[in-house]
Amino acid sequence: MTRGKYLLEDSRILWQVLTPVHRVLAIYNGNIYDLSDYLQTLADNNGGSGYSYLDGDIVAIYKQQPGQDITKSVDQVYASMDTNKALATKICLNNLFYILHRPNGLPKGCTMPIPNYLLLAFSALIALTIVAKCEFLSLSPA
């Protein structure tokens, strides 16, 4: 998946979790993280210790609350961890599992930051063009 800042509403995050190709996505501090490949690697290698590098409590939260905002739960786990381990886990998640940013300022259902008046203006322009073209065709000599 591509990394970067995209707009994604909550229902689309939940849809990704419920698709036949089960994705383990969750929101932490407004960012969306995907642990799907990590968990699949663990499953493919029978949970081999050489492949398990994330804290088990963090992974459990992702598994238990896919598609949801897990900020409070994860912060509680970070508070109980050693400071260095918590920082290393945050860096690891940001570098390897961060995929999208979900802005808090947009209302639910807003997927594109285009003001409604611009959409209305473009719709009116298209309608006016169609009406003008129909009038022009009806006035031309046959």
Q: What is the pLDDT of residues 38-78, one digit of tens each?
A: 888 888 887 667 788 888 899 999 889 888 889 999 999 99
Q: Fill in the DSSP letter of residue 94.
A: I
Mean pLDDT confidence for 104-124: 65
Question: HSE on the CB side for 89, CA within 13 Å?
Answer: 21
Which tops the pLDDT comparison, 29 or 10?
29
pLDDT value for 25: 84
Place of tokens 């381990």: 85
What's the pTM value of the predicted model, to 2 decimals?
0.59
Query: Three-state DSSP class for 50?
Result: coil
* 66 within 8 A of 60, measured Cβ to Cβ: no
Average pLDDT, the chain: 76
CB 26 within 8 A of CB 68: yes
Cα–Cα dist 40/5, whole Å: 25
Q: How far apart are CA 87 and CA 108, in angstroms?
A: 32
